[in-house]
Structure 1
Amino acid sequence: MPDLLIELFSEEIPARMQVRAAVDLRARMTDALVEAGLTYAGAASFATPRRLALALEGLPAESPTTREERKGPRVDAPEKAIEGFLRGAGVSREDLQIRDEKKGQVYYATLTRPGRPAADIVAEELEKVIRNFPWPKSMRWGNGSLRWVRPLHSILCILTDDAGEAQVVDLEIDGIRAGNTTRGHRFMAPDAFTVTGFDDYQARLKRAYVVLDAQERAETIWHDATNQAFASGYEVVEDRGLLAEVAGLVEWPVVLMGTIDDAFLALPPEVLQTSMREHQKFFSVRNPKSGRIERFVTVANIAPPDHGATILAGNQKVLAARLSDAKFFWENDLRTVRDKGLEGMAEGLAHVTFHNKLGSQADRVARIAALASEIAPMVGAKPDLAAEAAHVCKADLESEMVGEFPELQGLMGRYYAEAAGHDDGVPEACEEHYKPLGPGDAVPSAPVSVAVALADKIDTLTGFWAIDEKPTGSKDPYALRRAALGVIRLVLANGFRIDLKNGLLIAGRRSMASMLCRVVEVGQDSIKLPLLEAIGIAKGESSIEELNKKSLEAADLLAKGFGSGVPPQSWEVARSNDLLAFLHDRLKVHLRDEGIRHDVIDACLAMQGNDDLTLLVKRATALADFLKTEDGENLLQGFKRANNILTQAEEKDGVEYSFGADVKFAETDEEKALFSALDRAEPQITQALETEDFAAAMSAMADLRAPTDAFFEAVQVNVDSPVIRRNRLNLLSRIRTICLQAADLTRIEG
């Protein structure tokens, strides 16, 4: 069975596109061949800066002959219908068979498609794949119609049989005819050479200074870099993203280590690392004793005769120019901090619009500071420190360093806060208040950092909810889902007990005040002055009570001025509840990833206090664990049976059976045993729930399983005696009431 080798040789492919392109080549080509009847035993794709390659093993020499039976019209159908069927099937009337069916005689055609040589199929499908390749960006050159990421120079396409004989697939695209030749390294082995199969191709490429496998190139780079650093007493700062990128920039990696000029060693290590990574694609090399970045590693795409001396000299010269800029930014920023403090650096935020309906970044900082001071006691932070940190947490957005390297925002804030003399967790809060940025990001635990991080994310959510800019479907331009997950992870990871509903309400009022400031600029003259007065108090450093009162007054004035008769309290609470529901939706996703069923989460969300996320998760975890046990599953079935009987009786009788079950009306031992079990379990469950020991509550509920099962096996609820029936229904109500104290078990499936 022949093997197939394809290589598409071009000018340099951007490193960021190579991995996806190799995957697309393999997927599209193999799918097309299988659809055409050519199966295969194995497939592998590769990418280097100048080539995409695909190797397939175990192709058949030709596609199999296929036979298809196609049903046609009835024999007495109109002639045009029969002729249309003949044309579609590609057969004549003599080729048709007539078969008897329930509705009469029907024509059938048997279509036989003979197999085709593999080479013909490969040529046909490869041309389609090349012409329709999904490059993110592509170009057309010369007079041809082909579009490719960079000019395509050659196509290697051969089928190699078991004897090792290679057949070139007959294919031509825009004047490029497929062959059995390729080229090695652009400078060290530029001449063309022939290959007979994949093993020969890979071996000859390596002799021509091309490492085909990107993973092998990455491993070579990392191995050589770490060895060189270790030999000099240093360590390479790990950067997997940069490693993958650099592996896509070279075909023959040669690792060289250079020295950073002493004039730049005082720069923060993150500045050095970011500047070298973003501008030069250099790896940072750290002195493990001092923690400073003192050297760099660059990867050349050539084996230089002078062991890299010329390359390193040129790179160090360019690096010095880059780092001179970074040093200039750093020193200027420090001068600003010394002269004006971080508050002075942040003055420009008043002229930076956060959102045209929510005011400037300075407005936002004021809201975050007020909210952070209110959250602080809930997370163990001092309100004045939380407010201090919040007031300066965005100051570095006005720094020259962050202007050059936006990815350093937050981190530079910590350095500048330390330089300005802030302490007691304020510098750390400047860096960490953006966290967590994603599911894999670390969650802050320092109290001041947590207070500011929560305030930052809650303000974002309530602000965009206030102006009705919510995520829709897959669109989330303001990253509100990420902000919601950040709130959830901050609360849960630290085990905080926060009244989210009230926090969202207060934060929403501040956001509304900012929105009203914008509206009043174009508002009606009759409401402009009272609005300004109300907003002025709502935005200022006022008490919560005054804020609540004045923000509602402002909202009421706005509603009246624009003809709305809806009381502000109504839509304000509705907006807060809607945002809480959004947080609950994100919590469901988070807990499902943790292995907790959606119906278990719904059962706990239905309980009081569902804005206390820590309590909610504690309850859900205990319930999930309980339902995994045999006692839990059986008790759930007993509860559902009791609830179904009770619900049907209440609907039929038009009354609620919720009180008055008395053991003196019990007639059977099983009935009396259930009364006794409920009397024992109820105080235990109540006490456990009061102390939030949900595991103990579930354990006490599990003790009800046996007497409940015995009751249903031995006792008939709907008996003729109205007194006994009512007593037994009220007994079932006790079961329902006790079980519903832990969670809304009616929402549990199964």
Structure 2
Amino acid sequence: MATQDFLFELGTEELPPKALKTLSAALEAEALAGIKEVLGKDAGALLADAKVTSYAAPRRLALLIENLVAEVPAAEFLMQGPPSRIAYDGDGNPSKALEGFARKCGTEVSALEEIDGKMCFRQQTEAKPLRSELAEVMHNALNKLPIPKRMRWGASRVEFVRPVQWLVMIFGDEVIDCEMLGVKSGRKTRGHRFHHNRDIELMTAAEYATTLKESGMVVADYQARLEDIRAQVIAEGEKLGGVAQIDEDLLEEVASLNEWPVALTGRFEERFLDVPAQALISSMKEHQKYFHHEDKDGNLMPNFTTICNIVSKDPQQVIEGNEKVIRPRLADAAFFFETDKKRTLESRVEDLKSIVFQKDLGTLHDKAERIATIAQRVASDLGNSTEQAARAAMLAKTDLMSDMVFEFTDLQGLMGYHYALHDGEDTDVAKAMDEQYMPRFAGDELPETGAGIAVAIADRLDTLTGLFGINQPPTGSKDPFALRRAALGVLRIMVERNLDLDLRELIAVAADSHKNLPARDGLEDKVLDFMLERFRAWYEDEGIAVDVFLSVLAVKPTKPLDFDTRVKAVNHFRTLAEAEALAAANKRVSNILTKQGGAVAGEVNEALLQDDAEKALATELAVLSERIQPLFAAGDYQAALEVLAGLRGTVDTFFDDVMVMADDEAVRNNRLVLLSNLRNLFLGVADISVLS
């Protein structure tokens, strides 16, 4: 089948840099979905040789599809109607159902045919050129772009994320004649706003990227532009004898701001290096979009690299202009730092009373006092200093009252660390100022000091119990206080730092620290269930089946470290040859006991054991029970399950030879006690009846 190259380009005023990648990906996805819908059920085969390339630059969104089929092939669709047995009455007249189906198909009853017991209509569609459908496909794709707020311009009622300036629609070497977002299509794109501020005529779709780069000084390929910037910044660092530090989010933003990137490196005064490096970095990155460099020892160098969107005839003048701009920014950071040091963190504790944490949960000062109570309990349980934990908790939020953090909010915690050291606080207390926010994101490092661990856990538990206690848990995708992230952070700290802490007990301490929570009753269980549920995604990411997680959740261990140990033990157990049969046996036992009202307590009466199979099971259970109790006490669940795996043969024989629900009530109850004992041994680790 004949193919052509298709090019779509929408030219606009500068697009939002942080949304550029998202818009480009969405345009490609929606356009392809629309084309597949037009091509029908054979779209996959028809597009097998097509090559799709997205382009995105500050003033354009473009899509090139090479080897796109030129024709929508003819097709036949079979529409099914009512069963043939009710299609006609006894006199051979068509039923109302059949007449209605014919009207729906836009045809006569006589055109219908019977196929496999149903009345059907064969609908034929003729082949048609794909170019006639592409305008509507792209129009629909633009309407579906994820644009939270659209704008209008001029007197037009047209809406888009930014004013539209031009439109290119070429199929092969011909323009697809249409109008979109108030602009008529053509073959003229535009070059660089400064270096080539005029039209560029494209004769074919395939020449788009090459022509723009060679004639228009525009690198339309987003990823190529990004990697070019990365390479230039790295090269600038090497020239300085240092190492360029490339933040990926900053790199993407800069790539979205430039069409023809050129790296230039400037310098700032070394006196500014007395300010904490992260404050200088934040100032350069957030306000100026600069990349910084470190020397071989990891120390910040007094240099920065900026990405210009032009090739300057006098680059030194551009560099000096940037140096002039960054100087007052860094001077502000230095001023904030020196001003903040004039007051101790302790002197700011009282200021926390002026900041409301949440209207129903009090001020930041109230929160600090609650965190101190919880942190002391955490420290006590771990055998760490409760004094350091309490001190760190009371000072933890005080840097929020500093000028530096007010200006650079992402420095909270880090500035607290520097100010605490300046105040002469204990080193671990100072580190806790920063560690309280760890982990900040997935994969982030965890707190290391005893005080940092205590405050990090306490802060999150205070927020969780408080919000649940005032009936404001997360709902759907809404989680304004990031409670899911807070819960996962606590679990990560406890598991990855091997902390033997009882989560339910700590939740109770946190809940009791609040005053007059309207939903206090049962709060421990609600918060615990919410937090343990975060393990589900955790283990899915590790490739552990969800039924393994559910088997442990069923017995609800309250220590996250213990929970994790059980999950790993069950995950190992299911690889054993005996696992499937024992899981099925446990399921059978569970069903039997459930029908009898649950587990049956008591001792097995050996005098009531009649069959050899039940005697063998009773004997083996007694032996294994003594053998695995020390393993349970040591938390060696994997070894315990390996021991219990030896029960398979005895359990299989029991169910083959023994009628549990015997007529004799005493015998029946004795056998139910035996099965209860069997199930309880496995429940010492998990409910393996859940395993599929």
The alignment's TM-score, normalised by the length of structure 1, stands at 0.83
Partner of 1:145: 157
Shift of 1:575: 1.9
CA 1:90–1:702 in 2, change beyond 3 Å: closer, same or farther?
A: closer
**Distance in 2 separating the partners of 1:621 and 1:80:** 60
Task: Deviation per CA, 1:430-451: give whole Å up to 9, x if none.
Answer: 0110122232222212211001
Instruction: Give the aligned partner of residue 156 of structure 1.
Output: 168
The residue that corresponds to 2:316 in the other structure is: 309
Counterpart mapping for 1:82-481 below 5 A: 89-91=105-107, 93=108, 96-97=110-111, 99=113, 110-130=122-142, 133-160=145-172, 166-173=173-180, 176-207=183-214, 208-289=216-297, 291-306=299-314, 308-336=315-343, 341-481=344-484
In 2, the alpha carbon distance for the partners of 1:130 and 1:635 equals: 56
Q: What's the counterpart of residue 678 of structure 1? A: 621
Aligned 8 A contact 1:257 1:295 in 2? yes
Distance 2:662 2:394 in 1: 71
Instruction: Write the distance in 1 (CA, Å) between the matches of 2:443 and 2:484.
Output: 15
Kept after mapping to 1: 8 A contact 2:6/2:66: yes
Q: List per-residue Cα deviations over 1:290-345 (Å, max 9, x = no partner).
A: 61231000001111122x11111111101112112111111110122xxxx21113
Larger CA deviation: 10-19 vs 497-506: 497-506
Distance 1:235 1:656 in 2: 69
2:379 touches 2:454 (CA, 8 Å); kept in 1? yes
Which of residues 22, 43, 47 is equivalent to 2:52?
A: 43
Q: Tell me whether 1:629 sits opposite 2:576 in the alignment.
A: yes
Q: 1:372 Cα deviation (Å)?
A: 1.2
Shift of 1:58: 2.4
C-alpha RMSD of matched pairs (Å): 3.0
Aligned counterpart, 1:709: 652
The residue type equivalent to 1:122 in the other structure is L
Q: Give CA-to-partner distance per residue, 1:221-266, whole Å, 9 cap, x none.
A: 1111111211221111120000011011111110111101223221
Contact 1:346 1:398 in 2 (8 A): no
Give the Å deviation of 1:723: 7.3
Q: 1:255 to 1:714 in 2, by over 3 A?
A: same
Change (3 A) 1:61 1:402: same
- Shift of the 573–618 alpha-carbon distance from structure 1 to 2, 3 Å rule, reads farther
Question: Contact (CA 8 Å) 1:681, 1:701: kept in 2 or not?
Answer: yes
**1:2 to 1:680, Cα distance in 2 relative to 1, 3 A:** same
Retained in 2: the 8 A contact 1:5–1:198? Answer: yes
- How far off its partner does 1:127 sit? 3.5
| 1:472-507 residue CA offsets vs partner (Å, 9 max, x unmatched) | 232222222222112211111111122332322222
In 2, the alpha carbon distance for the partners of 1:124 and 1:664 equals 81
**Alpha-carbon distance between aligned partners in 2 of 1:713 and 1:86, rounded to the nearest angstrom:** 62
- Supply the distance in 2 between the matched residues of 1:499 and 1:655 (Cα, whole angstroms): 27
CA distance in 1, matches of 2:662, 2:559: 44
Please state how far the C-alpha of 1:175 moved relative to its aligned partner. 5.8
For residue 23 of structure 1, what is the amino acid of its counterpart? Answer: A
Instruction: Go from structure 1 to structure 2 and tell me whether the alpha carbon gap of 1:663 and 1:590 turns closer, same or farther (over 3 Å shift).
Output: farther
Would the alpha carbon gap of residues 374 and 69 (structure 1) be closer, same or farther in structure 2, given more than 3 Å must change?
A: closer
Distance of aligned partners of 1:413 and 1:170 in 2 relative to their CA distance in 1, 3 Å threshold = same
Could you tell me how far apart the structure 1 residues matched to 2:401 and 2:331 are?
20
Separation in structure 2 between the aligned mates of residue 68 and residue 699 of structure 1, nearest angstrom: 59
Per-residue CA deviations over 1:22-81 (Å, capped at 9, x if unaligned) read 112212222222222275323221101111110112222221223345567967469999
2:266 alignment partner, SS class: strand
Higher relative contact order (CA 8 A, sep 6+): 2
1:279 deviation in Å?
0.5
C-alpha distance in structure 2 between counterparts of 1:118 and 1:725, whole Å: 76
Gaps of 5+ in 2: none
The answer on 1:660 being equivalent to 2:593 is no
Question: Structure 1, residues 607-626: CA drift from partner, whole Å, max 9, x if none?
Answer: 47x22221222122212211
Q: 1:676 to 1:510 in 2, by over 3 A?
A: closer
* Higher CA-based Rg: 1
Residue 47 of structure 1: SS of its match in structure 2? strand
2:70 counterpart residue number:
61
Note if contact 1:217-1:247 (Cα within 8 Å) is conserved in structure 2. Answer: yes
Q: Distance in 1 between matches of 2:459 and 2:71?
A: 64
Deviation at 1:643, TM superposition (A): 4.9
Quote how far apart the aligned CAs of 1:270 are: 0.3
Structure 2 distance, partners of 1:383, 1:159, is 73
How big is the shift at 1:87? 6.5
Partner SS, residue 144 of structure 1? coil
What is the alpha-carbon distance in structure 2 between the residues aligned to residue 116 and residue 380 of structure 1? Answer: 78
Read off the aligned partner of 2:470 and give its amino acid letter. I
- 2-structure distance, mates of 1:109, 1:115: 19
1:528-560 CA-to-partner distances (Å, cap 9, x unmatched) read xxxxxxxxxxxxxxxxxxxxxxxxxxx9xxxxx
Matched to 2:359, the amino acid is: N
Which residue is 1:526 aligned to? Answer: none
Pairwise CA distance, 1:142: 3.1
Q: Secondary structure at the match of 2:345?
A: helix
Question: Does residue 582 in structure 1 map to residue 530 in structure 2?
Answer: yes
Q: CA deviation at 1:390?
A: 0.9
Change in Cα spacing, 1:332 to 1:211, as seen in structure 2 (3 Å) is: same
Shift in CA distance, 393/727, structure 1 to aligned 2, threshold 3 Å: closer
Relative to structure 1, the CA distance from residue 733 to residue 366 in structure 2 (aligned partners, 3 Å threshold; closer, same or farther) is closer
Instruction: Measure the CA separation in 2 of the matches of 1:739 and 1:89.
Output: 62
Who is 1:638 aligned against?
Answer: 585
| Cα offset, 1:580, TM superposition | 1.8
Aligned position for 1:15: 17
* Counterpart mapping for 1:586-605 below 5 A: 586-605=534-553
Task: Give the residue type in structure 2 aligned to 1:55.
Answer: L
- Residue type at the aligned position of 1:485: L
Amino acid at match of 1:44: T
In the other structure, the counterpart of 2:684 is 741
For residues 696-718 of structure 1, the C-alpha deviation after alignment (integer angstroms, 9 at most, x for no partner) is 21122112222323344455556
CA distance in 2, matches of 1:382, 1:100: 85
> Residue 694 in 1 paired to residue 641 in 2?
no
| SS of the residue 1:265 aligns to | helix
Over 3 Å counting, the alpha-carbon distance change for 1:58 and 1:351 in structure 2 is same
Q: Which amino acid aligns with 2:548?
A: V
Alpha carbons 2:551, 2:691 under 8 Å: kept? no
Change (3 A) 1:315 1:737: closer
How many residues of Structure 1 are paired with residues of Structure 2 in the alignment?
A: 674
Question: Secondary structure in 2 aligned to 1:141?
Answer: coil
Structure 2 CA distance for partners of 1:439 and 1:194, relative to 1, 3 Å? same
Fraction of identical pairs, as percent: 35
Name 1:24's counterpart in structure 2. 26
**1:659 and 1:733 in contact (8 A); partners too:** no
Q: What's the CA shift string for 1:153-186, capped at 9, x where partnerless? A: 22111111xxxxx111112346633222222212
Q: Tell me if structure 2 keeps the 8 A contact 1:342–1:392.
A: yes
